[in-house]
Amino acid sequence: MSSPSPSSSSSLIQKKRRLWPWAVGLALLAAGGWYASQRGAAPEGEGGGKSATGRPGGPGGRGDRPTPVSLASVGTADIRVQVPAIGTVVPRNQVTVRARVDGPLLEVAFTEGKPVAAGEVLARIDPEPFKAALAQARGQLARDAALLKNAQIDLDRYKGLLAQDSIAKQQVDTQAALVQQYKGTVQADEAAVRSAELQLSYTTLRAPIAGRAGLRSVDPGNIVKASDATGLVTIAQQSPITTVFAVPEDRLPAIMQRLRGGQALRVEAWDRDMQTRLAEGRLLAVDSLIDSTTGTVKLKAEYANRDGALFPNQFVNVRLLLDTLAGVVAVPTAAVQQGAKGSHVYRLGADGTVAAVPVKLGPVDGPLAAVEAGLAAGDKVVVDGLDKLKDGVKVEAIDPKAVDAPGRESKRGAGRPGH
């Protein structure tokens, strides 16, 4: 037999070298698969396997361990019946201050964004032309008053001569007519003087109402005119202040019934996120017409707003209080779940397990909802951890809570009201 050639031996060695890494890789894969199969063979009841009772283990491998939840006690509370609405803050009064005469603006006396009092000086227009006009009117009045006085003296003299039959009656009548003419002239002059005085007074611009001054639209040195549409500044009365909001027309009968009975209806204004109560006031007026396109009617409420929490044109959520249900069974809204068959809660049983219980709810007031059927005072319901529950699951209470009636005189920042 002939010995292999050097070239064939070299080729065989190169093939073995190429196959060696593949063999090592396959061996490592086989070892990893065996190790993984040994790790996956966990005893039943651990990890994601079944417990001794056949129930699947809980998240994180709890098995028969109770599911931690937060519980609350169903109790009794005074639940407010409220009408929710979206409103806009409107000043009680709003005035745009405009010049009533033409002339250079000499001074702006108010501070932008600051409160002003009724009658406070806001600005001054150059008064000199109006002072001159007033002096001219007064001079004309004095001249015509002197003519009237002289004519009246002549008339009195003519009447004496007529009594002595020393003058014709026609001359007396003519003089009497002249006196009346001068009286009319004097009256016109007096009116001209009053008009000139008014024009002069208009050079001082005063605040017609108390409120907050806005940003000025004209700077000193500019010529202002009575025909200017923008005006000098806008003043908005913010204390008291109002909100305008719309409610469905089917709520109107209950509202009107209480108003006719002389009941003052409370109204609350809340911020955009329904987290902070901004102000509490009263219903002021109901519009005279229902909007047929929306089926709503506009209402206006008034607030003292001494702290300035409400600002003109601000968006607010409004709650109109219609009634209070005293001592009714109440459940935390956090416990209420919605399903295909309606509202339900998970109630704790005597054996430590929970069951879904259908409930019929009434008005919602902040964190509480009135219960018309399905629960009784003293029941325990789950308010947190609901996503882990189903009928028959055993639970463990953590951070238990009790249901109390919401504070009726809560300050700003109190709990959310009902919707």
Backbone angles phi, psi at 149, to 5 degrees: -65, -40
| Structural tokens at position 303 | 């607030």
| Residue 325, number of CB atoms within 10 A of its CB | 15
Q: Which of 343, 341, 403 is nearest to 367 (CA)?
A: 403
Q: Answer yes or no: are the C-beta atoms of 116 and 210 closer than 8 Å.
A: yes
Model pLDDT, residue 28: 61
Q: What does the pLDDT average to over 375-383? A: 92
Question: In this predicted model, which residue has the larger pLDDT, 386 or 222?
Answer: 222
| Residue 34, number of CB atoms within 10 A of its CB | 9
What is the distance between the alpha carbons of residues 131 and 142, in angstroms, rounded to a whole number? Answer: 17
Average pLDDT, the chain: 84
Query: CATH assignment of 77-88+239-402?
Result: 2.40.30.170
Q: Residue 65 above 90 pLDDT? A: no
Q: Which of 281, 284, 255 is nearest to 267 (CA)?
A: 281
This prediction has a pTM of 0.66
Question: Which percentage of the chain shows pLDDT scores above 90?
Answer: 63
**Comparing 77-88+239-402 with 98-123+206-237, is the CATH topology the same?**
no
Backbone angles phi, psi at 412, to 5 degrees: -60, 135
Paired strand residues for 97: 233
Q: Which helix (H) or strand (E) holds 136?
A: helix 128-163
How sure is the predictor about 372, in pLDDT bands with cuts at 50, 70 and 90? very high
Model pLDDT, residue 33: 58
How sure is the predictor about 244, in pLDDT bands with cuts at 50, 70 and 90? very high
Model pLDDT, residue 50: 40
Q: Residue 402 above 50 pLDDT? A: no
| Domains of the chain by residue range | 77-88+239-402, 98-123+206-237, 127-202
CATH architecture of the domain formed by 98-123+206-237: Beta Barrel (2.40)
- CATH 1.10.1740.10 applies to domain 127-202: no
Q: Answer yes or no: are the C-beta atoms of 342 and 358 closer than 8 Å.
A: yes
Report angle CA 364, 368, 372 to the nearest 5 degrees.
Answer: 65
Model pLDDT, residue 386: 87
Model pLDDT, residue 293: 95
